Amino acid sequence: MEVAVLGIIITPLILFVIFVAPIWVILHYRSKRKINEGMSQEDAELVRELAVKAEDMRDRIRTLESLLDAEHSNWRKDNR
Protein backbone atom coordinates (compact mmCIF):
# COMPACT_ATOMS: atom_id res chain seq x y z
CA MET A 1 0.00 0.00 0.00
CA GLU A 2 2.79 2.41 0.92
CA VAL A 3 4.60 1.65 -2.33
CA ALA A 4 1.50 2.52 -4.37
CA VAL A 5 1.04 5.84 -2.59
CA LEU A 6 4.74 6.60 -2.99
CA GLY A 7 4.48 5.79 -6.72
CA ILE A 8 1.49 8.10 -7.10
CA ILE A 9 3.48 10.94 -5.56
CA ILE A 10 6.85 10.29 -7.22
CA THR A 11 5.60 9.68 -10.78
CA PRO A 12 4.16 13.18 -11.33
CA LEU A 13 7.20 14.69 -9.65
CA ILE A 14 9.57 12.83 -11.99
CA LEU A 15 7.50 13.85 -15.04
CA PHE A 16 7.54 17.45 -13.87
CA VAL A 17 11.31 17.47 -13.39
CA ILE A 18 11.97 15.80 -16.76
CA PHE A 19 9.52 17.69 -18.99
CA VAL A 20 8.02 20.79 -17.41
CA ALA A 21 10.87 22.24 -15.33
CA PRO A 22 13.44 22.51 -18.17
CA ILE A 23 10.95 24.20 -20.49
CA TRP A 24 9.89 26.52 -17.69
CA VAL A 25 13.49 27.50 -16.93
CA ILE A 26 14.35 28.07 -20.61
CA LEU A 27 11.30 30.26 -21.20
CA HIS A 28 11.92 32.18 -17.99
CA TYR A 29 15.49 33.10 -18.89
CA ARG A 30 14.56 33.84 -22.50
CA SER A 31 11.98 36.38 -21.34
CA LYS A 32 14.49 37.87 -18.87
CA ARG A 33 17.00 38.32 -21.69
CA LYS A 34 14.42 40.03 -23.90
CA ILE A 35 13.49 42.41 -21.09
CA ASN A 36 17.16 43.28 -20.54
CA GLU A 37 17.72 43.90 -24.26
CA GLY A 38 15.14 46.67 -24.20
CA MET A 39 12.83 47.70 -26.96
CA SER A 40 13.44 46.18 -30.36
CA GLN A 41 13.73 48.27 -33.52
CA GLU A 42 10.29 47.07 -34.59
CA ASP A 43 8.74 48.03 -31.25
CA ALA A 44 10.34 51.47 -31.41
CA GLU A 45 8.91 52.02 -34.88
CA LEU A 46 5.45 50.98 -33.67
CA VAL A 47 5.69 53.45 -30.79
CA ARG A 48 6.64 56.22 -33.23
CA GLU A 49 3.70 55.35 -35.49
CA LEU A 50 1.33 55.38 -32.52
CA ALA A 51 2.66 58.77 -31.44
CA VAL A 52 2.00 60.20 -34.90
CA LYS A 53 -1.52 58.75 -34.90
CA ALA A 54 -2.15 60.20 -31.44
CA GLU A 55 -1.05 63.65 -32.66
CA ASP A 56 -3.41 63.34 -35.64
CA MET A 57 -6.27 62.34 -33.35
CA ARG A 58 -5.53 65.28 -31.05
CA ASP A 59 -5.67 67.65 -34.03
CA ARG A 60 -8.97 66.14 -35.19
CA ILE A 61 -10.48 66.44 -31.71
CA ARG A 62 -9.42 70.08 -31.51
CA THR A 63 -11.01 70.73 -34.91
CA LEU A 64 -14.22 69.01 -33.87
CA GLU A 65 -14.34 70.96 -30.63
CA SER A 66 -13.84 74.25 -32.45
CA LEU A 67 -16.66 73.35 -34.86
CA LEU A 68 -18.94 72.46 -31.97
CA ASP A 69 -17.99 75.69 -30.18
CA ALA A 70 -18.98 77.65 -33.31
CA GLU A 71 -22.26 75.77 -33.84
CA HIS A 72 -23.37 75.20 -30.27
CA SER A 73 -21.42 77.18 -27.70
CA ASN A 74 -22.91 75.39 -24.67
CA TRP A 75 -22.22 71.84 -25.82
CA ARG A 76 -19.64 71.28 -23.09
CA LYS A 77 -22.09 72.21 -20.33
CA ASP A 78 -24.94 70.22 -21.91
CA ASN A 79 -22.93 66.97 -21.89
CA ARG A 80 -22.03 66.97 -18.20
Going residue by residue through the chain, which has 80 residues, state the pLDDT in tens, using 9 for 90 and above. Answer: 677 888 888 989 999 999 999 999 999 999 888 887 787 888 889 999 999 999 999 999 999 999 998 988 888 886 66
Q: Strand, coil or helix: what is 5?
A: helix
- Classify residue 68 by burial, with Cβ atoms within 10 Å: 0-12, 13-18, 19+: middle
> What secondary structure letter does DSSP report for 3?
H
Which residues does 35 contact at the CB level (< 8 Å), separation at least 6? Answer: none
- Return phi, psi of residue 69, to 5°: -60, -40
Q: Give CA 61 to chain center in angstroms.
A: 27
